[in-house]
Amino acid sequence: MKIHKEGYKPIAISTIAFAILNLLSFYFISYSLPLLSWLIFIITFGTLLFIISFFRLPSRVHTLDSEKVIAPADGKVVVIEEAVDPEYFKEKRLQISIFMSPANVHVNRNPVSGEVVYNQYHKGKYLVAWNPKSSTENERHSVVIRHPKGEILVKQIAGALAKRIINYLQVGQKVEQGGEFGFIRFGSRVDLLLPVGTKVNVELNQVVQGGVTVIATL
């Protein structure tokens, strides 16, 4: 397992903070209040382990298939429904949403290969990611990839804890299925908007792996 590049700075800062807090605790608290000193160590060490785990980048064999839409993120499928897209298509699409908890791997991957034809960041609220309004009201970043069988919109959505959406793509860029296109810090959600009638290969509440699980068949 590797550490994602987005984690280098947060992990370095967290490690320094861990060392400073525990050195101060050792010199000024451990003699008079040993239990408090141990409590500080346990809490700070647990926090450091969580932050390292959050930015993990596990080794996986990715699914590559031009006929398939692959999961853009780790998490749980929380929405499978038809909905009108007010942003780009201006018509009804099949929406599949994946909720990413803080315990999930948070790198985002291209669900298909193709050309980026739309890329737009939107400021917004920080409603909990499973709230239906989060798709249109939360901070979000939308990308449309043109595939030979149709255009697919991938939307990174900030949740109540997510305060930074990172997107690496640009309009006109050619992307490969399974390649990294972004990262979201802490709890969040990713929406896929597919052509109506697309065959769905997952069920509600199913746990999926980014770059691995087949979401739909084009």
**Taking the domains of the chain in order of start, what are their residue ranges?**
2-57, 68-217
DSSP-assigned letter for residue 40: H
Q: Report the pLDDT value the prediction gives residue 163, as an integer from 0 to 100.
A: 62
Fold of the domain built from segment(s) 68-217: Glucose Permease (Domain IIA) (2.70.70)
Q: Report the pLDDT value the prediction gives residue 19, as an integer from 0 to 100.
A: 96
Q: What is the pTM of this model?
A: 0.86
Q: Report the pLDDT value the prediction gives residue 102, as an integer from 0 to 100.
A: 83
Catalytic residues: 188
Q: Report the pLDDT value the prediction gives residue 137, as an integer from 0 to 100.
A: 65
Spatial distance between the Cα atoms of 137 and 59, rounded to a whole number of angstroms: 34
Token couple for 103: 């315990």
Residues of the chain with pLDDT under 50: none
Spatial distance between the Cα atoms of 71 and 25, rounded to a whole number of angstroms: 45
Spatial distance between the Cα atoms of 127 and 132, rounded to a whole number of angstroms: 9
Q: Is 207 helix (H, G, I), strand (E, B) or coil?
A: strand
